Amino acid sequence: MIHEHQIVVPRTARYYTLGAAAPLEQLWLVCHGYGQLASRFITYFGTLGAEHRLVVAPEALSRFYLDETSGGTHAEARVGASWMTREGRLSEIDDQARYLDALYAHIVGALPGAPGALIVLGFSQGAATAARWAVRSDVAVHRLILWGGLLPPDLDPGAHRDRLTRMQLTLVTGDRDEYIPPRTAAAEQERLERAGVPVERIAFEGGHRLDKEVLRALAEREGSTTSRRPPPRR
């Protein structure tokens, strides 16, 4: 008879940073979407690079080839990464939490000063990863931005209302997003507000992608508020 077993093993995780290390007003932790790599994803945040802002982009632990094999080799094939699949789902959720907890502690431990306000952003598949970590971690999150994604179904907003209301929640979607169309974003906003969770919804012209102008506006707005607020404590 076949039995499934599990063992927790060390992994080497890759992440990228953009911006200065200190003094910080904002620390951004940004999670890429399905099939992306952190090295490319972080380039969208180039407009956020500033002396008072640090962007950290962790890369999902499962990489795969995006292109079909050509001539029996993957030498020229593009590579992407995925946060999880349906296989071993619960274990991968736990792995994500340990990974991001360890990464945050590593980043903050290397800073010469306070980390400033923590803004967590997840795009597409990364929205679910970002939301799970922001809600379940002990780390104080100033703002959670779900971009082209929703709160995952395993996070009931009513059950996690206390935690969600301690952070500012923002949904961002393009008005031509084929995965999260406006009606879906509006329904999510209504569901959250019905559970007692305030949420801001931002729409921009475009599809399932990041928008640099919206990113810049969000960062500048955060700068005008967090600079007058002491950094959050864990």
- In this predicted structure, the answer to whether residue 23 has a pLDDT above a threshold of 90 is no
Residue/partner pairs of 75-82 with CB below 8 Å, 24 or more apart: 79/37, 80/34, 80/35, 80/36, 80/37, 81/32, 81/35, 81/36, 81/37, 81/38, 82/34, 82/35, 82/125
Alpha helices, DSSP H, located in 111-181: 125-136, 161-165
**Does some domain include residue 32?**
yes
Give the number of domains in the chain. Answer: 1
**Does some domain include residue 166?**
yes
| C-alpha closest to that of 52 among 94, 113, 104, 127 | 113
CA of residue 148 relative to chain centroid, distance: 11
Q: What's the pLDDT at 204?
A: 95
User: Which tens digit of pLDDT belongs to each residue from 106-158?
Assistant: 999 888 888 889 999 999 999 999 999 999 999 999 999 999 999 999 999 99
User: Which tens digit of pLDDT belongs to each residue from 188-225?
Assistant: 999 999 999 999 999 999 999 999 999 999 988 876 55
How far is the C-alpha of 120 from the C-alpha of 128, rounded, in Å?
11
User: Which residue segment(s) compose the domain that 148 sits in?
Assistant: 15-66+78-226
**Does some domain include residue 184?**
yes
**Does some domain include residue 172?**
yes
Return the CATH number at 186. 3.40.50.1820
**Does some domain include residue 34?**
yes
3-state secondary structure of 86: coil
DSSP strand pairing (62-65 vs 26-31): unpaired
- In this predicted structure, the answer to whether residue 226 has a pLDDT above a threshold of 80 is no
Q: Is the dihedral of CA 68, 70, 72, 75 positive or negative?
A: negative
**Does some domain include residue 47?**
yes
